[in-house]
Structure 1
Amino acid sequence: MTVGLVVVSHSRKLAEGSVELAAQMAPDVKFYPVGGTDDDRIGTDLEKAMAAFEAGLEEASGDGLVVLADLGSAVMTAESALEFCSEPDKVLLADAPLVEGLVAAAVAAQGGSSAAEVKLAAESVRFGPEPSDTAEDSQGRGEPIDSGVFELINPMGMHARPAAKIAGGLAGLDVEATVNGVDGTSIMELMSLAVGQGGKVKVEAWGKDSSKAVEYVRRLVEEGFGEL
């Protein structure tokens, strides 16, 4: 089994749509979308969230659950459900953007990461650079500890699935990594590279897991991100 993922949203369609997207990257992961009220209005439902937690805990077989929520009251609903669930120590709430965080978490779970690592993968992604991530700061890190240049062989190049696999894996490592100069843990930034088949990606890494990061991307690229 793998870590299960619960999505708590104000909208049933948003919860189910987010899960539909993430499931494309992680076919072996169990998802539990919770959205809307019993009469299908916008809102959150504590009983639905509690039921999802219990179903996930039963099916996760000890691997645990990671929960993502869309807005403030959904977070409160998830927190309340956690208080009442049978095994609260096996449920982790992630503070992450719903869609991008869910995709990164799904990729990490698909790869066999622990619940803590899946949570970290979700929380590590972001939509754009933080104020400190300027070109000056990037240069201030000095030369990368490890690096590699790899040619994309998958037919569609750097689209959503490869970007999610790279970001999800790198987010779970103790490393700062860039791919063609952008944040390697940001799905959106990786997709913006628009590198096609035959194009090259340059990975540069700093930190304890720098060699693991470069090797991880190399393996993904050489395997065609599982798309060949």
Structure 2
Amino acid sequence: MTVGIVVVSHSSKIAEGAVELAAQMAPDVELVAAGGTDDDRIGTSLEKVLAAVEQSLVDSGGDGVVVLTDLGSAVMTAESAMEFASDPDAVLLADAPLVEGLVAAAVAAQGGSGVADVRKAAEAAGYRPAEPADQAEGAGVVKPDASGDFTLINPLGMHARPAAKIAGGLSGLDAEVTVNGVDGMSIMALMALAAGQGSTLRIEARGKDAQKAVDYVRRLVEEGFGEL
């Protein structure tokens, strides 16, 4: 079993489309769409969201459920559904961008992360400018605790799936990581690098798990992100 994920949107098409996208990167994760009203208009439905949460609780086999939403009122609907759920303590609401957060959460769940780490992966997916690598502390320069240069060998380079695998895996580590100067936990920032096959990724990491972070990215790159 893996952590289940519920997507709450004002539009059934948005929820279903987001689930379809994430499923391409996390085929073993139970993803449930709960979009639109009961008569398929724009809006949210407490009954529909509660049913999705209950289905996900069953499908996850006790591993827990993470809920992602689009707009403000969807959050309120999700919170109400969580209160009425059969096991509310097993359901966590993520404060994350819907699509990017969903992909990062799904990749983390696919990798076997627990419910708290899946929510953390979703919430870490929002774009944040990376700190400059050469920022000064007093008279010195902050150098990475670990670093590495790796050449992309997969045919499509840094597209959505590799970016999601990098961001999702790094989110569970105690390290600040940059990839070619951008936040390694931001799927959008990684994709914006437009790094094709043959491009070099410069990984710099700081923190307790710095070497683990660099080694994690190295393995992904050397394995071609499973696309070879």
**Which interval holds the TM-score relative to the shorter structure?**
over 0.9
Give every structure 1 segment of 4 or more consecutive aligned residues whose post-TM-superposition deviation is greater than 6 Å. none
Contact 2:134–2:142 (CA under 8 A) maintained in structure 1: no
Matches within 5 A, 1:54-203: 54-129=54-129, 133-135=130-132, 138=135, 140=137, 142-203=142-203
1:191 is matched by which residue type in structure 2? M
Q: Which runs of 5+ in 2 are unaligned?
A: none
Aligned length: 225
- Cα distance in structure 2, aligned partners of 1:68 and 1:139: 38
- Cα distance in structure 1, aligned partners of 2:26 and 2:3: 11
Displacement of 1:127: 2.7
Displacement of 1:128: 4.1
SS in 1 for 2:112: coil
Question: Structure 1 residues 23 and 139, CA, compared in 2 at 3 Å: closer, same or farther?
Answer: farther
- Cα distance in structure 2, aligned partners of 1:134 and 1:222: 27
Displacement of 1:135: 3.0
Query: If each structure's helix is expressed as a fraction of its own residues, which one has the higher value?
Result: 1
1:153 is matched by which residue type in structure 2? I
Contact 2:134–2:143 (CA under 8 A) maintained in structure 1: no
SS in 2 for 1:27: coil
1:101 is matched by which residue type in structure 2? G
TM-score relative to the length of structure 2: 0.95
Alignment deviations for residues 110-168 of structure 1 (CA, whole Å, 9 cap, x no partner): 10000000000000121342xxx453885557110011111111000011110111011
Displacement of 1:15: 0.4
Identity of aligned residues (%): 71
Q: Which runs of 5+ in 1 are unaligned?
A: none
Contact 2:14–2:35 (CA under 8 A) maintained in structure 1: yes
SS in 2 for 1:19: helix
2:108 is matched by which residue type in structure 1? A
- Cα distance in structure 2, aligned partners of 1:203 and 1:128: 17
